[in-house]
Amino acid sequence: MSSQPSHRYSSIAIVLHWVTAVLMLGNIVLIWVVDELPDERVRWAIDTHKSIGITVLGLFVLRLLWRLGTRPPALDGLSAWEQVAAKWGHIGLYVLLAALPLSGWLHDSAWKDAAAHPMSLFGLVPWPRIGIVMGLEPGLKEQLHDLFGELHEWLANGFYLLFALHVLGALKHQFLDRQKLLQRMWF
């Protein structure tokens, strides 16, 4: 097995990968600690969570465009089943990068007090709610608020699982198989 990285990802792909990873993990930590924060910081934390989530969605769109226009380097040195697992793991992560922010945005748009608390990205740029959801009748909106909230939570659980497998897979190839896989995703 080769100890050399076969090919590197492009600089754009590397930046998008690591910025997205930091924002995703930061957003999860932020929402985990929200109950420990003093009352006056809670609103700020949830608003920042929403802003980071929308940023992740924007980066996801850029990443998808990049991915559709570029072939990533081949997964050389992996067995056939590992290549299949890596491919489906990556597809799952792409799906969650879109579905997590979208479900959060839907959940927030169905919030009964949404109109009284306009959204803005990092307090700088006004950001819309999803109009079709905001305009629904209050009883249905309340039900959808709960439903999208649960969906958001379950997608987050799916993300923890795929993220753990993604990191464990990368570490296995790096340290047990000595394939220098991480260098492919670094400058």
Give me the least distance between CB of 60 and ligand HEM, in Å please.
9
Residue closer to ligand HEM (CB basis): 47 or 82: 47
- As beta bridge partners, residue 127 has 119
Give Cα separations from 61 to 56, 58, 97, 128, 151 (angstroms): 9, 5, 10, 18, 21
Structure tokens at 158: 């799916």
In whole angstroms, what is the distance from residue 110 CA to residue 48 CA?
A: 18
Give me the least distance between CB of 40 and ligand HEM, in Å please.
16
Contacts of 42 (CB under 8 A, 6+ apart): 34
Task: Report phi then psi at 122, rounded to 5.
Answer: 55, 30
Residue closer to ligand HEM (CB basis): 9 or 60: 60
Give me the least distance between CB of 66 and ligand HEM, in Å please.
18
Task: Report phi then psi at 94, rounded to 5.
Answer: -60, -45
Structure tokens at 94: 């792409």
Give me the least distance between CB of 49 and ligand HEM, in Å please.
6
For ligand HEM, the binding residues (CB under 6 A) are: 24, 27-28, 31, 34, 46, 49-50, 53-54, 56, 100-101, 104-105, 107-108, 152-153, 156
Residue closer to ligand HEM (CB basis): 10 or 146: 146
In whole angstroms, what is the distance from residue 116 CA to residue 95 CA?
A: 31
Give me the least distance between CB of 73 and ligand HEM, in Å please.
26
- As beta bridge partners, residue 60 has none
Residue closer to ligand HEM (CB basis): 8 or 166: 166
Residue closer to ligand HEM (CB basis): 9 or 105: 105
Give me the least distance between CB of 9 and ligand HEM, in Å please.
21
Task: Report phi then psi at 3, rounded to 5.
Answer: -95, 0
Residue closer to ligand HEM (CB basis): 43 or 178: 43
